Amino acid sequence: MNKTFLLTITTLLFSVLWLAPAQDTTLTHPDETKAEIPALDNFHDIIYKIWHTAWPEKNVKMLAELEPEIQQYAKPLIQSELPGILRDKKTLWKENISKFQNIIEEYKKSSMPVDSQRLLASAEQLHTQYEKLVRIIRPALKELDEFHSVLYMLYHYYLPEKNIEKIVVSTNELKIKMENLDKAKLSERLKKKETMFIEARTHLSKSVVAVQAVVISSDMKKISSAIETMHSDYQALEKVFE
């Protein structure tokens, strides 16, 4: 009698969680779930001056005069730490920050004394490297970023904690995010990746469905395995844009 009663209560609990409206599970750790680096945004001010005025006008004098400002804006960017949601990109970020530092040093050397051709080349390289840094932290699709914000909390917090309530809520939310991602269109710039994108997205969509199929069971071994597969499929989709 008692066992039957407990089983009934447990089933009802999971049913309520399963049917509950999706909640924003990213609010628990807001700083970790924002793919933002303020120093990178601030550096855009100096890049704008270089790329939209000094470089196209071949204004070597202006490029040289901007060197101290470049150093000023570069220092906090070089020292910046990635937020938690970008932890998987830490190695790539460090590699590109190192290249960024080398270009900054080359820019400085070509400014004092001024070497016109070398300075123009350094300015172009600086712009290119800045764009690479931006692409590392900013996803190609808004819908992909929104999916990842929920997946991050699920994979790095709720799953290790075995917090079944939040796992269920997160998977409900991921279903909605996946529906939006399934409708997303690539820009013209990314059209050449469309075949790989659709294939990887299809795998991710199937793994989201698979997670939902097991999450209500409360079998943590099956749930963990399904979420691991979904996480791997997300990473495969993200790699399409690298």
Write down how long the chain is: 242
Q: From first to last of the 242 residues of the chain, give the pLDDT tens digit.
A: 454 444 444 444 444 444 444 444 444 555 577 778 999 999 999 999 999 999 999 999 999 999 999 999 999 999 999 988 888 889 999 999 999 999 999 999 999 999 999 999 999 999 999 999 998 888 789 999 999 999 999 999 999 999 999 999 999 999 999 999 999 999 998 999 999 999 999 999 999 999 999 998 989 999 999 999 999 999 999 999 87
pLDDT for res 9: 43
Q: What SS3 string covers 145-181?
A: HHHHHHHHHHHHHHHHHCCHHHHHHHHHHHHHHHHHH
CATH number at residue 179: 1.20.120.290
Of the three residues 104, 121, 137, the one that is the final residue of a domain is: 137
Task: Judge whether 51 and 73 are in contact, CB under 8 Å.
Answer: no
pLDDT for res 33: 72
Total number of domains constituting the chain: 2
Residues 133 and 144 in one domain: no
Residues 42 and 101 in one domain: yes
Q: How far apart are alpha carbons 212 and 226 in whole angstroms?
A: 9
Residues 131 and 48 in one domain: yes
Q: What are phi and psi of 93, to 5 degrees?
A: -65, -45
pLDDT for res 135: 85
Q: Look up the pTM and report it.
A: 0.72
Of the three residues 86, 107, 137, the one that is the final residue of a domain is: 137
Residues 80 and 113 in one domain: yes
